[in-house]
Amino acid sequence: MDNINLINRLSSEHNLSDSEFLKLITTSEYDAELFLAADKTRRENYKAAVYIRGLIEFTNYCKNDCFYCGIRCGNKKAVRYRLTRDDILMCCAEGYSLGFRTFVLQGGEDPYYTDDIMCEIVSSIRKNYPDCAITLSVGEKTRETYEKYFEAGANRYLLRHETALDEHYKKLHPNNMSLENRKKCLFELKKIGFQVGSGFMVGSPYQKPDNILADLRFLQELSPDMIGIGPYISHEDTPFKDKKSGSLELTIRLIAILRLMFPYALIPSTTALGTIHPEGRELGLKAGANVVMPNLSPVKVRKLYTLYDNKICTGEEAAQGNVKEH
């Protein structure tokens, strides 16, 4: 009965006390009720719809050295690639013919793509596909650069905060990166008018329940349109190669909590979730997620965008995906 009360309160008030959130995060005791409630909330707001976003991973060059990431600049084994504007437009053409109406351009922080080059890419997509949303996910930039992207026709931006507490952020990133700047970017993107997505890795090294609580509180403060979470998965050529990966259980529990906290949010069931479990993305959708992002990148580069080991969707089948409506 207590379990149901707690979940009912989260469903109706979209909030709980710190100690209640910690209880939900740290035990599986509430999972059955939690998943049912999250699924119900998703259906009330979105019916059976699952939104499809075409992901174009257009560069794996990165000037950053995040300790967890396979495309960090310090990974000298990574085979690097960049897509040209024409390559990207071909991905969009294929996606459009398959019915995709949102293109997500994601990449490392690659200085090759100056503001002029990036804006030319965005405005070409905007001109060819006026009915489509253009989402960028290219990291931390200045406000001026974000404004240029927006004027060129981009309307959404994904930038996970990664972790909301400074002490933890410093354990995951080198000294030249700061949580303060990442958060500043997110608030600037919102002010400019982007629909903003943020999020974090579940089970990243050194993450404790208090960190996750801080992530939930930060998301409340930011109030993003999209929330992307996925399990941390180790990569063999990073300093964290021996760290344990995050779990399916905690990731889907957090998807369900986020659905109840943010009933209208767009929450993807991520590739990382599909990588740690063959049914991961389906389980994410059943626990409240409502977005999937099949890979539209050219087949020959898919296996090179290796953020973590054994990443799925590297084969011919990816654009078609394995999407079933729930």
Q: How far is the CB of 2 from ligand SAM (least distance, A)?
A: 34
Return all residues near 46 (Cβ < 8 A) that are at least 6 apart: 290
Which one of 44-52, 84-92, 116-124, 156-164 is the stretch in contact with ligand SAM (CB under 6 A)?
156-164
Query: What binding mask, one character per residue, do residues 158-197 give for ligand SAM by CB under 6 A, x or -?
Result: -xx-x-----------------------------------
Q: Which stretch binds ligand SAM (CB under 6 A): 81-89, 102-110, 207-215, 295-303?
A: 102-110
Which residues, listed in sequence order, are joined to residue 201 by a DSSP beta bridge? Answer: 230
Distance CA(164)–CA(266), nearest Å, equals 20
Positions in 206-265 near ligand SAM (CB under 6 A): 230, 232-233, 235
Q: Which stretch binds ligand SAM (CB under 6 A): 118-126, 131-139, 207-215, 283-291?
A: 131-139
Asked if 272 interacts with ligand SAM (CB under 6 A), we say yes
User: Residue 102 — φ and ψ, nearest 5°?
Assistant: -135, 130
In the list 308, 312, 313, 319, the residue contacting ligand SAM (rule: CB under 6 A) is: 308
Written as one string, the DSSP assignment of 215-234 is HHHHHHHH--SEEEEEE---
Q: Considering only residues 40-99, where is the footprint of ligand SAM by CB under 6 A?
A: 68-69, 71
Q: Closest by alpha carbon to 102, among 162, 160, 157, 161?
A: 157
Cα distances from 283 to residues 17, 101, 278, 294, in angstroms, run 27, 24, 10, 16
Read off φ and ψ for residue 63, nearest 5 degrees: -85, -10
* Stretch of 104-112, 185-193, 205-213, 282-290 lying at the interface with ligand SAM (CB under 6 A): 104-112
Rounded least distance, CB 242 to ligand SAM, Å: 13
Binding flag, residue 108, ligand SAM (CB under 6 A) = yes
Q: What is the DSSP letter of 43?
A: H
Beta pairing class for 195-202 and 156-158: parallel
Binding site for ligand SAM (CB under 6 A): 68-69, 71, 106, 108-109, 137-139, 159-160, 162, 201, 230, 232-233, 235, 272, 307-308
